[in-house]
Structure 1
Amino acid sequence: MTDDRLQWLVDRSEISETVIRYFRALDLQDWPAMRATLTDTLDLDFSELFGDPREVVASDDFVGAAPHRMGGFRATQHISPNHVITIDGDSAEMTAYMNAWHVVEGPDGIEQTYVLRGSYDITMRRMSDGWRMSRLRMRVWHETGNKDVFRLSAERYAALHAAAN
């Protein structure tokens, strides 16, 4: 095996691992671990899910807002199989399939779920400490359940934190 081929395999493994660590951190609500997978700025496009326009944000701000949207879920599970990766030096493009499950208790005590299937187009950059994501574009293929779970999660998070203070 050539050194170039071996480097390609190592890079591919590290790139895939970065995406898996991102989704794991999201599910565990481990915000510092999530931040460690991102470059300092992030080109986001979640327009197919939320209708928000594409924007470039500071990753610290993106991660800082995550608990307010995701912190009220009882549980989430983000699965990211089928990584197709193209590496060009210190940058990479990938498509990662996505299956995301979200559950939150509604104000009436009834559990609400939402399942989303699709893919992410992701741009990666090699940094001094490893590969990090610089762009996330979500593509939505299928949704089922109550999409209002994101609002319910945000309300539950706010209520829990208001009660703690």
Structure 2
Amino acid sequence: MSTIDVDVRNTIHDLLCRFFLAFDEKDWVAMRATLADEVFIDYASSGREQPGAMTGDEFVGRRRGAVDELSKQHSFSNLLLSATDSGVHGRCNYLILRFATASNGAADSYHSCGSYEFVFQPVDASWRISSITQKALRSWGNRDLHGGSRN
């Protein structure tokens, strides 16, 4: 693994900020702009989607369908990046707070924490997310609020 240029590091950090903020603001156009045309996903550790590839549009459609009715706040920390032959690999911790839009108690929330692993690839003159693996540590609250969760 080789070192990563500071400009690339800053660009990828900004890309992740835009990706997570797009969830919170329900800005699906902005989310799509952060993704490669094909994205590998693995949400199996949280009991959700099994590993597989899909288009960036499909990814956005699935996320929108699973969480569009919730108020959310995504946070990430401890971002580590490393250059690989296939692009840039990243790992970060996450905390996701989710609340029912008409919240009236603790049963109207569903939160989770863990880590993500990403692969970023250059596309044209920018970077895009081409792989997302979630490694869930813990979730708590009303799981039924999250449309992407398995019952």
Give, in angstroms, the shift of residue 105 of structure 1: 4.7
- Alignment check: 8 A CA contact 1:126 1:132 kept: yes
Is 1:26 the counterpart of 2:46? The answer is no
Summarize the Cα distance change of 1:149–1:11 in structure 2 as closer, same or farther, 3 Å threshold.
Answer: same
The equivalent of 2:64 in structure 1 is 67
State the structure with more CA Rg.
Answer: 1
Distance (whole Å) between structure 1 residues aligned to residue 48 and residue 62 of structure 2: 17
Could you tell me how far 1:146 is from its partner in structure 2?
A: 1.4
Matched, 1:147 2:140: no
Once residues 137 and 19 of structure 1 are traced to their aligned partners in structure 2, the CA distance between those partners, rounded to angstroms, is 14
- C-alpha contact 2:81 2:91 (8 A) present in aligned 1: yes
Pick from 2, 7, 10: which aligns with 1:13? 10
Q: What TM-score do the two structures reach when normalised by structure 2?
A: 0.87
Match of 2:83 in 1: 87
Matched, 1:131 2:103: no
Residue 45 of structure 1 aligns with which residue? Answer: 42
Looking at structure 1, the residues matched to 101 and 47 of structure 2 have their Cα atoms a distance apart, in angstroms, of 21
* Pairwise CA RMSD: 2.2
| 8 A contact 1:90–1:126 mirrored in 2 | no
Q: Give the number of aligned pairs.
A: 145
Identical-pair percentage = 23
Counterpart Cα distance in 2 of 1:31 and 1:151: 17
CA distance in 2, matches of 1:125, 1:10: 15
- Conserved in 2, the CA contact under 8 Å of 1:95 and 1:122? yes
Q: Deviations over 1:84-138 (max 9, x none)?
A: 00024771001011000000157xx744111101010100001113111000000
Q: Structure 2: any 5+ residue segments left out of the alignment?
A: none
- Give the secondary-structure state (helix, strand or coil) at the position aligned to 1:96: strand
Are the aligned partners of 2:92 and 2:115 in contact in 1 as well (CA < 8 Å)?
yes
Structure 1: state its 5+ residue gaps.
153-165
Where does residue 102 of structure 1 map in the other structure? 98
Tell me, yes or no, if the aligned pair for 1:8 and 1:87 is still in contact at 8 Å. Answer: no
Counterpart residue identity of residue 123, structure 1:
V
User: Which structure has more strand as a fraction of its residues?
Assistant: 2
With normalisation by structure 1, the TM-score equals 0.80
